[in-house]
Structure formats: structure tokens, C-alpha cells
Amino acid sequence: MVFNDPVNLMSYVSYVFQTYFGYSEDKADALMLEVHENGRSVVATGGREAMERDTQAMHEYGLWAACQPDSGSD
Amino acid sequence: MAAIDARGDDVVLRLEDNERSLMLTVFTDLAALLSEDDGSEDGSRPDSENWDARLGLVGRPRPEDPALLRLLPDVDPEDEERSTEFRRLTEFDLKQAKAHNVRIVLLGLSKGNDITLTHDETLAWMKGLNDLRLVLAVRLGIDTEDAQDEKYARREELSESEDLTLTLYDFLTWIQDRLTTTLLTRKQGDDET
């Protein structure tokens, strides 16, 4: 999950989504706008270890990200 | 005024004297922030020799400085225990990675006003600039878009130092955005071929 942050540039967020997750430009831009407009977006889902690795990577890029267990499961 | 252009696989950045010296100052400050003693028992040893921290064997306190906390955030703000555990296991590496980016920026700045960056160096600059902007935003109290808008709307009421910080922030924003769009344009060209 990535949160909106006034510091993070739209171009930079889209670049990170395209290069780190390998998303297309369209998908990356759509997720970036979702973060911007809704305040947050789930950009990836998966097992705990993979999600923690992704969160760590987002932190290295300086994006405000967190990972949380899906409600009702572990 | 600074200029940024693509040249082959590289990116060329041209800075004015005052821009370069200002960037050297603020990135040196960021390097210091990232190397500050973290308060753990082994804080007296350099990080490179701090094997207990590298291996995640010792706990790492949550940063008290909000700027540092913004660079090294909780993995799950709703779960303190999990965040503490994650910090113990990963914060050392994260901090090292950020310090490494800053070193690449400082190395580039030390070369003169015309700086040629490889693709990987450009990426390190983008990350370093983003981290520095995060720190400046915390210092300026820009934590939401509303706060940011208000800061600009009330610009004439700002103290001289706040006004200068905001000017610097805008300059760094411009450089980061130009570096990013340069790489994005190249990526789109590569994707089409």
C-alpha cells in the first residue's frame, strides 16, 4: 500500500511503479493517480515476505508505503 | 540556471557555482543525518563494522527526529510490534542504501559544474534528491497537500530562512523531476523498439 505524500512527484512515482513492479506506463499512471486522489492505493498484494520486501524497496525509493495483513486472514 | 540533457545513455547536468555549492552543503547535511549515532549499544562503532546491527541481532530504536522517521518509516503503522521487528531486521540496510545514494550525489558534485551521470548514477541522484526533499518538507511542516498549498499561499509571511528553504526545495524538485522525465522518455523509446 502506498500513501499520498505532497513531496513525491507524479513523474517519480510513475517511474518507480514502472521500473520496480514492471507495470506498463498506463497501469503505473493509473495507480499513481489513485494514490494522489484517494490518498492511498494497494499497488501489490501477495505473501507476507514478498510484500515486506516490496515495502522495503518503496522505502528505499522514499515512497510512503506500508504493508498490512488482509483483514480476516494472516 | 541549471540545465539537464540526455546524451546517449548518460544524463548531463550543468549547474551554476552557487547551485553546486548549495547542493554540496545540503547533501553533506543529509549524509550526517543518515550517519548519526542511532543510540544503540554499538553506536560507537562505524556501521561497516557493526556486525550485530548488520545481521539484525540488536534492536534499533524508532527515530525520534520526524525527518529521520520519514526516511525510515514503520512497516505497519497500525502494528507497533511488527514494525519494531521489521526495523531490527531491515533498517540498517535501508539506511546504508540511502547513505550510498547520497555518497554518489556528493561524488558527482565534487567533479565540477558539468556533471555526467550514468543511468545508475542518475537513479541514485533521483532517490537522494527525493530523500533530501522529504527531510526539507518535514522541516517546513509540509506533511499534507493542504499544508503545502498554504505554505506557498502565505509565502510573504515566511521567515527569511523558511523562504530560502522553500526556494531550495523548489530547485531540488525541478532537478529531480527533470532527471526522472529524462529516464522515462528514454524508457518509452526503449520499450517501443
What are the angstrom distances between the C-alpha of B147 and each of A14, A36, B63, B141, B143? Answer: 23, 15, 23, 7, 6
- With CA atoms as reference, the chain A residue closest to B178 would be A11
Whether A67 and B76 lie within 8 Å, measured CB to CB: yes
pLDDT at B143 > cutoff 90: no
C-alpha distance from B137 to closest chain A C-alpha (Å): 7
| Residue A53 resides in a domain | yes
CA distance between the termini of chain A: 16
| Residue A29 resides in a domain | yes
| Residue A22 resides in a domain | yes
Question: Residue B37: what pLDDT?
Answer: 57
Whether B73 and A25 lie within 8 Å, measured CB to CB: no
Residue B13: band (very low, low, confident or very high) from pLDDT cuts 50, 70, 90:
very high
CATH number, domain containing residue A6: 3.30.1390.10
Dump pLDDT digits (tens) for A8-48. Answer: 999 999 999 999 999 999 999 999 999 999 999 999 999 99
Dump pLDDT digits (tens) for B116-126. Answer: 999 999 999 99
Asked if residue B92 lies in contact with residue B60, where contact means CB atoms within 8 angstroms, the answer is yes
Please state the domain count of chain A.
Answer: 1
The DSSP annotation for A49-71 comes to: HHHHHHHHHHHHHT--B---PPT
Between CA B87 and CA B72 the distance in angstroms is 8
Place of cell 499534507: B144
- With CA atoms as reference, the chain A residue closest to B75 would be A66
- Decide if the complex's ipTM is over 0.90: yes
Whether B77 and A66 lie within 8 Å, measured CB to CB: yes
Whether A60 and B94 lie within 8 Å, measured CB to CB: yes
| Residue A9 resides in a domain | yes
**Closest partner CB to A9 (pick from B145, B180, B183):** B180
Question: Residue A73: what pLDDT?
Answer: 43
**Would you tell me how many other CB atoms lie within 10 Å of the CB of residue B142?**
23
Dump pLDDT digits (tens) for B42-94. Answer: 555 666 667 777 777 788 889 999 999 999 999 998 999 999 999 999 999 99
> What range defines the domain where residue A47 resides?
2-61
User: In what order do the strands lie in the sheet containing B114-117?
Assistant: B3-7, B10-14, B114-117
Residues in B closer than 8 angstroms to A8, CB to CB, are 130
| Residue A51 resides in a domain | yes
Residue range B88-115: mean pLDDT, rounded: 95
Question: Residue B188: what pLDDT?
Answer: 86
Between CA B62 and CA B72 the distance in angstroms is 9
Which ranges of B36-159 would DSSP assign to H, the alpha helix?
A: 51-54, 66-71, 80-109, 119-140, 145-153
**How many CB pairs below 8 A link A and B?**
74
Sign of CA dihedral B89, B94, B95, B96: positive
